[in-house]
Amino acid sequence: MNTKLHAICDSQGRPLDLFVTAGQVSDYIGARALLNSLPKVDWLLGDRGYDADWFREALQDKGIRACIPGRKQRKTPVKYDKRRYKRRNRIEIMFGRLKDWRRVATRYDRCPKVFLSAIALAATVIYWL
């Protein structure tokens, strides 16, 4: 019953793509699943969970610059634009707006497909509001 929602959103905080994994699964799985559906953008903002060399290289191959802080246990620190990273609050606001829907916040659905469809419905409404 524990899940993790991975999402891509635009600069206005509107959800573009969603992916649900089990709660104990690493963030790398969600990053790999959403990598092919990334739109043409200049920057990608992500949290520390998405810090991986292979992910940074894949983004660089697509012409996308990563603004992802390095993990604390990383031996060589990664430079990132701290001022740009502060705009990541739009992503958190998007997740908060999704959780305004009681069905999404409390996860009544046992089946992941039904849960993802409820999230997709909420995301569609959020996108147009």
Q: What is the mean pLDDT of residues 38-49?
A: 92
Q: Does residue 67 surpass a pLDDT of 70?
A: yes
SS3 123: helix
- pTM for this prediction: 0.85
Q: Which CATH class is domain 3-128?
A: alpha beta
Domain boundaries, the chain: 3-128
The pLDDT value recorded for residue 129 is 80
* In the predicted structure, residue 43 carries a pLDDT above the cut 80: yes
**41, pLDDT greater than 70:** yes
Q: What local confidence, expressed as pLDDT, does residue 1 receive? A: 59
Rounded mean pLDDT of 76-81? Answer: 90
pLDDT at residue 103 in the model? 87
